[in-house]
């Protein structure tokens, strides 16, 4: 129902509707580069984004052939955290892999 009740000046209870808005969602995008290995991207998609091996391979191939692919859709804070994980892991393995977010 989502309503709240209040008493008006005449002593009659009124019910006001409250609107619940869902948080906007954001796509996390992976960008192609000439140095990051396909195996690293597949592993990253499996570990950071929880993709199956088959789905991770499909996304990796989309990044490779189209230059960019969506690897997940999340609320803003989670999307930012995923991007940070991607950048940290890539840096640890000395790859220039980049990720970004865009509103879904």
pTM of the predicted structure, to 2 decimals: 0.78
CATH topology for 23-103 is Ribosomal Protein L30; Chain: A, (3.30.1390)
Domain boundaries, the chain: 23-103
Residue 1's pLDDT is 47
* pLDDT (tens digit per residue) in 83-93: 999 999 999 99
Q: With helix as H, strand as E and coil as C, how does the chain read?
A: CCEEEEECCCCCEEEEECCCCCCCEEEEEEECCCCCCHHHHHHHHHHHHCCCHHHHHHHHHHHHHHCEEEEEEEEHHHHHHHHHHHHHHHHHCCCCCEEEEEEC
Predicted confidence at residue 78, as pLDDT, reads 97
In this prediction, what percent of the chain has a pLDDT beyond 70? 85
Stretches in the chain below the pLDDT threshold 70: 1-15
């Amino acid at each position: 129902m989502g309503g709240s009740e209040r008493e008006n000046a005449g002593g009659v209870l009124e019910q006001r509707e409250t609107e619940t808005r869902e948080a906007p969602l954001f796509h996390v995008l992976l960008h192609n580069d000439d140095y990051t290995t396909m195996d690293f991207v597949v592993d990253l998609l499996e570990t950071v984004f929880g993709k199956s091996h088959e789905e991770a391979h499909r996304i990796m191939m989309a990044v490779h052939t189209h230059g960019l692919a969506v690897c997940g859709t999340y609320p803003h804070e989670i999307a930012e955290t995923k991007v940070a994980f991607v950048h940290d892991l890539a840096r640890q393995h000395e790859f220039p892999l980049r990720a970004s977010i865009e509103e879904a």
